[in-house]
Structures are given as C-alpha cells and as structure tokens.
Amino acid sequence: MLDSIRKRKEHWISVMIVLAVVGVMAFFGVSKFSGDQRNPGSPVAWVNGETISQRDFYRELEFTLSQYRSVLGAQYDEKLLASLRIPQRTLDRMVQLKLLTQQAEKMGFFVSDQELADTIRALPYFQKDGKFDLESYSKIPNRGLEERKQREQMVTSRLQAYMANRIKALPSEVQDSQTITGTKVDLQVAVIDFKALAPRQEPSAQAVGEALKNETVLKNQYEMRKGDFTDKARYHFRQIRVGVPFQASADTKKKAQEKMNLIKASLTAANFEATAKTQSDDEFAKKGGDRGWISEGSLDKAIELALQKLSANQLSDIIETPAGFFVVQLMEKQAQQVKPFETVRAELANVFVREQEQSKFVEAKKKAWEDLLAKGQSLDDELRKNKVSVKKTGPFPLDQGSIPTIGAVDSMMDAIFEMSPQSPTAKRLFFYQDKYYYLKLASVTPPKSEELTKNRDQAEKTLVNVLQGEIFKDWVSSLEKQASIKLDETFSTKKGPGSTTL
C-alpha cells in the first residue's frame, strides 16, 4: 500500500509559486553594491534584449532588505545572513518576472490604463479618509516606474491564474494525497555500532610481529597519535585568590581588585605561604595556597599563561579571571614530554593489528547483514544474537517528514514508502550520524473512510495548489533555459544555453 502512493508523496515535499515569493531572503555583501549606482539607468541584466536597470534593481533590493529587517527586528544580522546571496537572488527573481511579462504579452494578456488606474486607486497606502488621495500619490518619485511595475505584476498574475485554472487533480491523486496525509506508521528501529560488536581479544604474537616489520606504517601511526604519547607540562604552585561572585556588580569587582592590590603590595616569595593562609579565600588557604601538581589544560588560561612565564619561586602579577583575582607563585615546573617512537613501537603495532582486525570484522558483518536485507530477510535473529536492542518509534504520520528519535533523513523516509506488511523490512542499512540504522515496519494505520470523505474538498484544494506550484515552477525553468539572458559580471548565473555573464 505504501508503495502505491510513493510517487504522490513527492508533491508534498515542496511548494514554490514564483510570483508569490516576495522574497524573505538574506543579505550578501550589499555594501558591495549599494554605493555603485554611478549610472542608475545602465543595465544589470538583459532578458531577450530587454534590460533591467541598476535603478530598478537597487529599489527591489532595498525593498527586500526592508522586509527582512521588519521580520527579524533586533535579530537582523548581516554577517549571519551573508551566505544566502540576496543580490543574486533578487536579480534572479527580477529576471523571472521579466520572462513572465514577455510571455504574457506573447499570449495576448493585457492591462488597460483604466484597469491600472483603478488598481492603484484601491491601494491602501494611497487612501485618506476612505478615498484615493491624489496628493499622496503625486509625491512618489518615479511614478512611471511604479506604474510599470504594477502593470507587470497584474499581467503576470493573470497569466498565472490562467494557467493555474487549467490544472486539475484526478480523483485518484486526491485519494492518494489524502492517504499520505492520514496514514500513520510505526517502525522498529535498531541503532547498530559495528565496532562495538567486534570481539575484544588480543591480537596474535605472529600478527604483531608482522606489523613490527612495517616501519613506515608504524611511524605514520606514531605521528597521528603523538598526543596519546605526550605527557603535558605540569606545574607545582601556590595561589592567593580574592574571589568575585558570579555576575558581580562593578563596585564589587572594584573592591576585590583593591583588596588584591593591597595584598600584592607587601607580598614576597618568603611570606607568600603565610599570607595565603590569612588572606586567600579559597579551600587551599589552609595549605598556604599550595595547589600541588596540576597538568596543563586543567587551569584557567590566564593562570596557565602566567605560570609558563615564571621561574621557580617567582611571583606573578595580578591575574584577573571570571572567578576573581589571583597571584601565583611557581614552585616547580615539568616541561611537556613526548615518549620516543622506540618506546611505544610495540604498543603501536598492537593497536594497528587490533584496528585492522576490527575493520575486517565490521566490513564482513555489515556485508553479511546487508546481503540478508537485499534478499528481503529481517535481521531480528541476528540482532538478538548480538544483543542489539530494537525499539519502536510509536505511530507517526507519513506527512510529518521525519522519524521520531531519528529526524528528517530523506533516504529513510523514502524507504518507508517501499515497505508493506507483506515486505516490512527496509532493503538496506542506513548510515546516519556515525551509526547504522535498521528499519522494519511494525504497523500501518490508514485513514478511516469517513475521514477521507469528510476532508476530500480541502485535500483536493491543497493538492491542486501543490500541483500548480510545481508545474508553474517547471514552466518558468523551461523559459529560462530557452531565453537569452545576460547578467552583469557581479552576479552568478544559472540560466540556459543562451546565457552569458558580462
């Protein structure tokens, strides 16, 4: 049953009607463009010989940006939105509108001056006390451009409506889309970590001996794992701390710093221990501030940087950290030490052999299980023998687009439409976020017949809207491929064979 509605599922993935997209798009280098209007009438693009001027482009660009600022408010962030390339997208949208206007004219669509005037008079932002305000309209600069833009939008809207009204959905398509929307499935899911299934045993002495002969491989392993064979630098030191509470006021911080200034003024290497016992306000005070040996990477970065610069018995300057103000005295230091290759050579060979054997196990086990799945067999017995748990997702609707506890993974969602009660197991494993997933259909609950009857009209309307959008999108794409489109070199192009970049 799921396989029979698989194709209809595609209509529910995305809807895109070009003329309806005013364009909440993001900002990309607008500063790069905004100051470059030396010749506002010069073209930024040619569409079948007709131009799109700099003036029109920048007005549309600013309109799009103002919409985005309005939507985001205080969250508007030009740097965050830079990668979405708003100037290029804006120009693409204007090219599409130009193509549609040209096509509408070829097909005989027309907007009279009277229709245009009536539309402009009805626009809410030219109304005053419920009537058209000629004075407000007269203040608009470049009214001719505004009227031309309004006429283009009206004629292309008529073209779109003409096409949309001729797109209908077959009764079988409506039923299929209703089935997708109303069907719920419950899956059995196993998350498989093949490495964890590999047997844990020491490699044979023979295998390790062979690995020891491969000097090049072992040295490469040593370089890649050098961090594992490195003892970090260590510091034995004392500290005096004047603490600052979390989110303390500026006045509290100031008083803490003044206290530390007084302590530091009389502090010496000789009296550091005694001063720490009476003046430091942490748990190390009773030990004279003695922290013992601490490895690098375990301390606040500012304290570590100070310790790196000190010699034995030397005192640091005052150090400010989120936890307060510190002065430290270095007692002893041990530099970072890297174990020589020869001392860890046997360990490297052992690890290398273990990883090779693990890799062979993983590949063999994965292939064996995928072969079973390809034949339509389940892995239930294999998972049980290997103590891999299988859990149910619980029923969820197909049009949800994501699997509970897993997420929106297209390959897995597509696989669900290939399952049926007669053939419930997915034909392969799915790799996602460093794990393999096994899917099996536990149950399918189609919508009740009365629900289909009750919601049929709304389902038909929704499906027709989707079909209209997809067909219109494809048609606009075909117009682009057939057109001669030239863009300013500033902009990238994805147009058809006749397109060029200037």
Supply the DSSP string of 27-57, one letter for each residue: --SHHHHHT--SSTTSEEEEETTEEEEHHHH
Q: What is the pLDDT of residue 80?
A: 58
Q: Write out the two tokens for 448.
A: 């009740």
Q: What is the pLDDT of residue 491?
A: 59
Question: What average pLDDT does the structure give for the chain?
Answer: 83
DSSP 389-410: --EE---EEGGG-SBTTTB--H
Position 34 confidence tier, pLDDT thresholds 50, 70, 90: very low
> Lowest-pLDDT range, 8-22, 100-114, 402-416?
8-22
Pairing of strands 430-432, 500-501: unpaired
- pLDDT for residue 155 is more than 80: yes
More confident residue, 67 or 287: 287
CA 337 – CA 273 distance, rounded (Å): 30
- pLDDT for residue 102 is more than 70: yes
DSSP 285-303: GGGTTEEEEEETTSS-HHH
More confident residue, 71 or 115: 115
Tell me how far the alpha carbon of residue 62 is from its chain's centroid. Answer: 27
CA 484 – CA 496 distance, rounded (Å): 8
Q: What is the pLDDT of residue 19?
A: 33
Q: Looking at residue 446, what DSSP letter applies?
A: P
Q: What is the pLDDT of residue 165?
A: 78
- Cα 243 to Cα 213, 254, 256: the distances in Å are 57, 12, 7
CA 424 – CA 443 distance, rounded (Å): 9
Number of residues in the chain: 502
Position 138 confidence tier, pLDDT thresholds 50, 70, 90: confident
Would you say the C-alpha torsion 432, 435, 440, 445 has a positive or negative sign? Answer: negative
Strands of 234-243's sheet in order across? 290-295, 234-243, 324-334, 319-321
> Lowest-pLDDT range, 34-38, 53-57, 72-76?
34-38
> Lowest-pLDDT range, 14-28, 66-80, 409-423?
14-28
Q: Looking at residue 315, what DSSP letter applies?
A: B
Asked if 329 and 307 count as a contact pair (C-beta separation under 8 A), the reply is no
CA 237 – CA 88 distance, rounded (Å): 59
Question: Which residue type is seen at 130?
Answer: G
Q: What is the pLDDT of residue 451?
A: 63
